[in-house]
Amino acid sequence: MGLRQDFTGTSNNLELTYYWHEPYHKIGCIFILVWDLFCIAFWSPVLIPLFRGEVVFPKNIFALCSFFMLIPAPTYWVLLYLINKTRVHVNRSEVIVRNGPLPWLRKNQTLPLRHIKYISIEELGLNSIADETWQLQENEICHVKAIMRNGESRYIFLNIHNLAEARIVRSRMSLWLMEMSRAESK
């Protein structure tokens, strides 16, 4: 998750936004731009005839598959992390988790507040090589998840690179859940 966080709250709503990008994704964007230009120049003598309809089976099909793996796939991955964010909207009845705007494997979900038991943090270790390479001061990657009353876990935020930020998210959401449970009991 990104380093920027934004919390917006009123008496009826709470909205938390986490951006997926890290500083190295910006460097990756520059690298991918240069890489894309290089690959297009390198593969153009083979791909131009393919787009004209001149299909030579092994050469052009291999070039098309390689072209896809070398240009659109990495470019989409970098754009995904630069653009996407997870937005959690909590109101009096439910928690709505939206990821986007680009589609990815993280599912959008709606969790009724009455089914959530508590919010917890799942801590995962960081790779020591990445720690030295990027000089990250944090020592953990965390996921914030909702533990449901039936024992099931539902991930709300994935890959938060700072345990302190994960704790802030957990405390804000836990406070909201406590306030809503008090309001229901009155």
Region 124-137: mean pLDDT is 55
Q: pLDDT tens digit string along 61-91?
A: 777 778 788 888 899 989 998 899 988 998 8
CA–CA separation, 39 vs 74, rounded Å? 12
Exposed / middle / buried, residue 86 (Cβ in 10 Å: 0-12, 13-18, 19+) = buried
Per-residue confidence (pLDDT) for residue 139, from 0 to 100: 56
Which amino acid, residue 132? Answer: E
Average pLDDT, the chain: 81
Region 177-182: mean pLDDT is 81
User: Which H or E element spans position 145?
Assistant: strand 140-148
Exposed / middle / buried, residue 8 (Cβ in 10 Å: 0-12, 13-18, 19+) = exposed
Per-residue confidence (pLDDT) for residue 52, from 0 to 100: 80
Q: pLDDT tens digit string along 9-38?
A: 777 888 888 888 777 788 888 999 999 899
Q: Where do the DSSP E strands lie in 10-139?
A: 14-19, 85-90, 94-100, 109-112, 116-125
Q: pLDDT tens digit string along 89-106?
A: 988 889 999 999 999 888
Per-residue confidence (pLDDT) for residue 98, from 0 to 100: 94
pLDDT class of 2 with cuts at 50, 70, 90 = low
